[in-house]
Structure 1
Amino acid sequence: MTDHVTTHQAEEDARNEEILIWLNGRVVPKAQALVSVYDSGFMLGDGVWEGIRLYDGRWAFLDEHIERLFEAAKAIDLDIRLSPAEVIAAIHETQAANAMTTDAHARLMVTRGVKTRPFQHPSLSRQGPTMTIIMEHSKPKIPRPIRLATVPHMRGLPMTQDPKLNSHSKLNCILACIAAEKAGADEALMLDVHGFVNTTNACNFFVVKKGAVWTSTGDYCMNGITRQKVIDLCRANAIPVFERNFSLVDTYSADEAFLTGTFGAQTPVSTIDGRTIGTGQMGPMTERLRALYKDLVRA
Structure 2
Amino acid sequence: MTDHVTTHQAEEDARNEDILIYVNGRILPKAQAVVSVYDSGFMLGDGVWEGLRLYNGRWSFVDEHIDRLFEAAKAIDLDIGMDRAGVIAALEETRRANGMETDAHARLMVTRGVKTRPFQHPGLSRQGPTMAIIMEHSRPKIPRPIRLATVPHLRGLPMTQDPKLNSHSKLNCILACIAAEKAGADEALMLDVHGFVNTTNACNFFIVRKGEVWTSTGDYCMNGITRAKVIQLCRDNDIPVFEKNFSLVETYSADEAFLTGTFGAQTPVGMIDGRVIGTGEMGPMTERIRGLYKQLVGA
The one-character-per-residue Cα deviations of 1:58-98 (angstroms, maximum 9, x if unpaired) are 11000110110000000000000100000000101000000
SS in 1 for 2:105: strand
Q: Does 1:70 align with 2:48?
A: no
Equivalence for 2:241: 241
Q: Aligned partners of 1:225 and 1:265: how far apart in 2?
A: 10
Aligned 1:49-60 pairs, distance under 5 A: 49-60=49-60
Equivalence for 1:265: 265
Q: Aligned partners of 1:88 and 1:67: how far apart in 2?
A: 11
8 Å CA contact retained: 1:41, 1:111: yes
Amino acid aligned to 2:34: L
Q: Aligned partners of 1:216 and 1:2: how far apart in 2?
A: 31
Q: Aligned partners of 1:83 and 1:2: how far apart in 2?
A: 46
8 Å CA contact retained: 1:22, 1:28: yes
Q: Does 1:120 align with 2:120?
A: yes
Q: Aligned partners of 2:266 and 2:18: how far apart in 1?
A: 30
Equivalence for 2:283: 283
Amino acid aligned to 2:203: C
Equivalence for 2:80: 80
Amino acid aligned to 2:56: D
The one-character-per-residue Cα deviations of 1:230-286 (angstroms, maximum 9, x if unpaired) are 000000000000000000001000000000000000000000000000000000000
Q: Does 1:214 align with 2:220?
A: no
Q: Aligned partners of 1:211 and 1:290: how far apart in 2?
A: 15
Q: Aligned partners of 1:59 and 1:35: how far apart in 2?
A: 26
Q: Aligned partners of 2:187 and 2:62: how far apart in 1?
A: 27
Q: Aligned partners of 1:86 and 1:36: how far apart in 2?
A: 23
Equivalence for 2:19: 19
Q: Does 1:41 align with 2:54?
A: no
The one-character-per-residue Cα deviations of 1:167-209 (angstroms, maximum 9, x if unpaired) are 0000000000000000000000000000000000000000000
Equivalence for 1:4: 4
SS in 2 for 1:158: coil
The normalised TM-score by structure 1 is 1.00
In the TM superposition, structure 1's runs of 4+ consecutive aligned residues that sit over 4 Å from their partners are none
Amino acid aligned to 2:262: T
Q: Aligned partners of 1:174 and 1:28: how far apart in 2?
A: 29
Q: Aligned partners of 2:56 and 2:285: how far apart in 1?
A: 25
Q: Aligned partners of 1:216 and 1:18: how far apart in 2?
A: 41
Q: Aligned partners of 2:255 and 2:246: how far apart in 1?
A: 15
Equivalence for 1:167: 167
Q: Aligned partners of 1:97 and 1:63: how far apart in 2?
A: 22
SS in 1 for 2:159: helix
Q: Report how far residue 223 of structure 1 moved.
A: 0.1
The normalised TM-score by structure 2 is 1.00
Amino acid aligned to 1:115: K
Equivalence for 2:204: 204
Equivalence for 2:231: 231
Q: Aligned partners of 1:59 and 1:26: how far apart in 2?
A: 21
Q: Report how far residue 157 of structure 1 moved.
A: 1.5
Q: Report how far residue 2 of structure 1 moved.
A: 1.9
Q: Aligned partners of 1:130 and 1:57: how far apart in 2?
A: 26
8 Å CA contact retained: 1:156, 1:193: no
Amino acid aligned to 1:144: R
Residue ranges of structure 2 left out of the alignment (5+ in a row): none
Q: Report how far residue 156 of structure 1 moved.
A: 2.7
SS in 1 for 2:198: strand
Q: Report how far residue 162 of structure 1 moved.
A: 0.2
SS in 1 for 2:116: coil
Amino acid aligned to 1:61: F
Q: Aligned partners of 2:43 and 2:246: how far apart in 1?
A: 38
Q: Aligned partners of 2:2 and 2:276: how far apart in 1?
A: 20
Q: Aligned partners of 1:245 and 1:155: how far apart in 2?
A: 15
The one-character-per-residue Cα deviations of 1:204-233 (angstroms, maximum 9, x if unpaired) are 000000000000000000000000000000
The one-character-per-residue Cα deviations of 1:25-70 (angstroms, maximum 9, x if unpaired) are 0111111000000000000000000000001111100011011000
Q: Aligned partners of 1:169 and 1:156: how far apart in 2?
A: 11
Residue ranges of structure 1 left out of the alignment (5+ in a row): none
Provide the identity percentage. 86
8 Å CA contact retained: 1:52, 1:105: yes
Q: Aligned partners of 1:258 and 1:147: how far apart in 2?
A: 10
